[in-house]
Structure formats: structure tokens, C-alpha cells
Amino acid sequence: MAPRIPRIPCELILLMVVTGGFTLQAKEREWQSGEVASMEIIRSTVGHRLIYHYSYSVRSNGHTYTFDEKNRLRLTVNGPVKFEVRGDKLRVVDERGKEHAEAILEKAIDPLKDPAKAPTADRR
């Protein structure tokens, strides 16, 4: 007598087929090239300790994004930078190729890139 093969319910097979067909894929990053517009060192005291924070601004395609970081990043002011903006988050690649995830504190339109905000000469 042959050994009995256990019967798998149809629902289980259907579930395995449906869920096995899905693959999770991360959305491709949309990197932008820009420049580091500024870097400020913010000193504050906590008790008797001096704490440093760093504020950075990156500029590209008529927009400037500002973010803070508790550690100093390897970025050069007025130097090139590669970054991605997704919602209120920014990923920046430093000069060593390391990615840093940051929260955008401020997003501004550069007045020289937006014709509506560009200064106009008084023509008489």
C-alpha cells in the first residue's frame, strides 16, 4: 500500500500563489545634483556642557532646503552635493559617499529662479 499524501486545502494553495506573486520593490531614488549653499555651527549650553549642532542649506532647481544635524557632515560650502527630497525628508550623500537621512526644516523658492519673485528694475 502506497503512503498517503496529505491534502492541502485549496485556500492555502491560492494564498501561496497570490502572495508569492508580489515582490516588494523599493521606489527608485530620484537624486538631484545641487550645491551646499551654507553651513552654520550652532553652539548651545546644556548644564555645564557646550553642545554643537550644524545647520545646512542645499540648493538645486530653484529651491533651497535647510536641515540640522547633530554631527558635522563632510560637505563643502559652495561645493557639489547629491541629494533626494521625498516629502519632508531629505537624503544627502556626503563627500565620502555616505548617505544621511534628514528632516527638512525649511523649503524656500530662490527668488532669482522664480520670475514672480525676481527683483525688477524701475524703468521710467
Report if residue 21 sits inside a domain.
no
Are 110 and 65 a contacting pair, CB within 8 Å? no
The pLDDT > 90 percentage for the chain reads: 64
How many distinct structural domains can be found in the chain? 1
Domain interval for residue 97: 32-109
Put the strands of the sheet holding 63-69 in their side by side order: 99-103, 89-93, 80-86, 32-46, 49-60, 63-69, 106-109
pLDDT 10s digits, 31-88: 999 999 999 999 999 999 999 999 999 999 999 999 999 999 999 999 999 999 999 9
Is 73 contained in some domain? yes
Nearest Cα neighbor of 64 from 48, 46, 83, 47 is 83
Percent of the chain residues topping a pLDDT of 70 = 69
User: Is residue 2, in this structure, part of any structural domain at all?
Assistant: no
Average pLDDT of the segment spanning 15-38: 69
Residue 25 domain-assigned (yes or no): no
122 in a domain, yes or no?
no
Residue 124 lies in a domain: no
Provide the whole-model pTM: 0.68
What's the CA gap between 75 and 39, in Å, rounded? 9
Q: Which residue has the higher pLDDT, 18 or 91?
A: 91
Phi, psi of 77 (to 5 degrees): -60, 135
| Cβ neighbours around 80 below 10 Å, total | 11
Rounded CA Rg of the chain: 26
Residues contacting residue 63 through CB under 8 Å, at least 6 positions apart: 107, 108, 109, 110, 113
